[in-house]
Amino acid sequence: MSNTQKSLINVGIVGGTGYTGVELLRLLALHPNVKLRSITSRSEAGSKVADMFPNLRGHTNLEFQTPDEAPLEECDVVFFATPHGVAMNEASHLLENNVRIIDLAADFRLQNTQTFSQWYGIEHSCPNILSEAVYGLTEINRESIKRARVIANPGCYPTTVLLGLAPLLKSSLLCKNTQIIADCKSGVSGAGRKASVGTLFGEASDNFKAYGVTGHRHNPEISEQISKISGQEYDVLFMPHLVPMIRGMLSTIYVDLSKDALDTNVQDLFERFYANEAFIDVMPQGSSPETRSVRGSNALRIAVHRPGNNTRLVILVAQDNLVKGASGQAVQNMNLMFGLPETAGLQSIALLP
């Protein structure tokens, strides 16, 4: 299938009962160029999607099907909103039937299979397909995404960190010996829609904690992509935290600029870098983005601070972890793959209050 625009894209979703799955449904149900063909769930097969997710009543008549029953081969693109390890086992069959793949898990994010096995505890089953997969950081890899058959949708935390750093990485303004410190916070929906003591209301409410302190699987993903964007290796310290809200993500990134960058107008650099990006908002100097300003939207807001006007730079990045951090970016990538306007189906305004 060519990248020329189609009037209607037949879409399948594998794994439709989680938060990213229902977010895909919410976005795609109103997408002007999409026909939802199938959505799978082994545990909910035969039940109506709108019975599980009442916000979709009146917008879809789909029923959950098992993966074996679903006509995924008849789709133009299949989204995998599944645990790690599912997409790579289905990829060959779908690609043989000219079906494109957008994986919201980590199966195609790390090109080093040993690193993947180390962090995810499973062997990679299709390294040949992995080698052609494109990392779906839309604003950075736009041209490659247009031509791709397989998209590795970025993790939510890496999206904030990489887009927060990209103008500096592309301009070689960082001190070569700087340690990149990414202090990141997410709402509980980032943990997925599963029963877990740590995300129970009585555990997460009125509480604030760090996790993955000794190492987190997003760290190698961030490091690998920083190296690709900049052509250099940097020491990255990534520290995630859980905050008592449902959705939203705020990352505070600390870096040191090179001495040659002391006279650089960093605010102007960021504004020019993202000037033509529909979903990236570089806020006025002195601003502080809030998670509520992006809730339910595909927007990502950035503010840049230079305390004392010295070499230390503080970058603040806010996004909705389920939209720009997951399903919204996946739809953005689908639009590119099929020659549609990048903003199609994604122009909703954030919800306030």
Question: Coil, helix or strand for 334?
Answer: helix
267 exposure class (CB count in 10 Å sphere: 0-12, 13-18, 19+): middle
Backbone angles phi, psi at 43, to 5 degrees: -75, -25
SS (HEC) of 167-230 = HHHHHCCECCCCEEEEEEEECHHHHCCCCCHHHCHHHHCCCCEECCCCCCCHHHHHHHHHHHHH
Backbone angles phi, psi at 341, to 5 degrees: -55, 135
Tell me whether residue 156 is one of the annotated catalytic residues: yes
Backbone angles phi, psi at 330, to 5 degrees: -65, -40
Which residue among the candidates 126, 156, 175, 184 is catalytic per the annotation?
Answer: 156
SS (HEC) of 11-80 = EEEECCCCHHHHHHHHHHCCCCCEEEEEEECCCCCCCEHHHHCHHHCCCCCCEEECCCCCCHHHCCEEEE
Catalytic residues: 156
